[in-house]
């Protein structure tokens, strides 16, 4: 007898979306456990291991219990777990507004087309630049977003060059530039964007402005 589909979960919680185009909107977050990357600025290292294995029906029921239309599946790296693809599909079938936060190091070929993907291209400052799967970029849709977390001026120039190389501003709905928390001054990033007249969204992490680095927020 086949076991029901399952994934390992670190936490499921209700908060405000802190980033991307839905920033400020109440959202249920489903944080999957595990990640093959070790970005030097990672703020969710507590999700690298542990967690509990839950079947997809229980996860969906927990999400429905919050009476909230927006759901974000995140990690860690959620796509590192095979069951993530089916979880995304089930949430989309229930007509949730579903987004996926992924490092860009895993293939996105099988992600349900109704899901809005927020794909993080890793900069040199992350120390994981070599994990980028650039072949994913051709699969992104107009509703998707590309995110760069920037540690310094070098990262900014690198991101600007990638925007040109892959025509990112015309490929996806938005390009997001985010200063690494306590590494790059947001004002510096804002000035660089204005000087270069980039068509991007400079984003701060709203949840950190409200709650600091408290887990589950």
Residue ranges with strand state E in 49-193 = 52-55, 70-74, 97-102, 116-120, 145-150, 174-179
In a domain, 216, yes or no: no
Q: How far apart are CA 148 and CA 193, in angstroms?
A: 13
Domain extent for 130: 6-209
| 169 Rama class: left (phi>0) / alpha (psi -120 to 50) / beta | alpha
The predicted structure's pLDDT at residue 217:
61
In a domain, 214, yes or no: no
206 pLDDT tier (thresholds 50, 70, 90): confident
In a domain, 123, yes or no: yes
Q: Any idea what the CATH number is for the domain that residue 98 is in?
A: 3.20.20.70
Does the pLDDT value for residue 1 go beyond 60? no
Q: How far apart are CA 161 and CA 166, in angstroms?
A: 9
Share of the chain above pLDDT 70, in %: 95
Share of the chain above pLDDT 90, in %: 87
Sort strands 70-74 and 97-102 into parallel, antiparallel or unpaired: parallel
The predicted structure's pLDDT at residue 213:
67
In a domain, 38, yes or no: yes
Number of structural domains in the chain:
1
Higher-pLDDT residue of 211, 119: 119
CA dihedral (69, 180, 35, 67) in degrees, to 10, reads -10
In a domain, 215, yes or no: no
Please, are residues 163 and 186 in contact by the beta-carbon 8 Å criterion?
no
Does the pLDDT value for residue 216 go beyond 70? no
Residue ranges with strand state E in 4-156 = 6-16, 26-32, 52-55, 70-74, 97-102, 116-120, 145-150
Mean pLDDT on 119-146: 97
Phi, psi of 197 (to 5 degrees): 55, 45
Residue-wise pLDDT for 29-73, tens only, equals 999 999 999 999 998 999 999 999 999 999 999 999 999 999 999
Please, are residues 151 and 180 in contact by the beta-carbon 8 Å criterion?
yes
In a domain, 192, yes or no: yes
pTM for the model: 0.93
In a domain, 217, yes or no: no
The predicted structure's pLDDT at residue 4:
67
Does the pLDDT value for residue 150 go beyond 70? yes
């Amino acid at each position: 007898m086949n076991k029901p589909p399952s994934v390992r979960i670190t936490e499921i919680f209700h908060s405000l979306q802190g980033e991307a185009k839905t920033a400020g909107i109440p959202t249920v977050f489903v944080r999957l456990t595990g990640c093959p990357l070790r970005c030097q600025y990672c703020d969710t290292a507590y999700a690298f291991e542990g967690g509990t294995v839950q079947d997809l029906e229980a996860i969906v029921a927990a999400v429905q219990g919050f009476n909230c239309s927006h759901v974000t599946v995140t990690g860690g790296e959620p796509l590192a777990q095979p069951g993530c693809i089916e979880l995304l599909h089930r949430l989309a079938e229930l007509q949730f507004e579903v987004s996926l936060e992924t490092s860009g190091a895993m293939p996105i070929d099988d992600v349900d087309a109704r899901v809005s993907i927020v794909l993080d291209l890793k900069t040199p400052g992350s120390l994981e630049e070599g994990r980028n799967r650039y072949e994913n970029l051709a699969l992104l849709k107009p509703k998707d977003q590309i995110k760069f977390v920037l540690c310094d001026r070098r990262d900014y120039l690198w991101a600007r060059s990638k925007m040109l190389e892959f025509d990112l501003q015309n490929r996806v709905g938005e390009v997001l530039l985010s200063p690494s928390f306590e590494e790059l001054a947001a004002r510096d990033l804002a000035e660089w964007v204005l000087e270069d007249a980039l068509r991007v969204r400079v984003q701060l992490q709203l949840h950190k402005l409200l709650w600091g680095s408290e887990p589950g927020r």
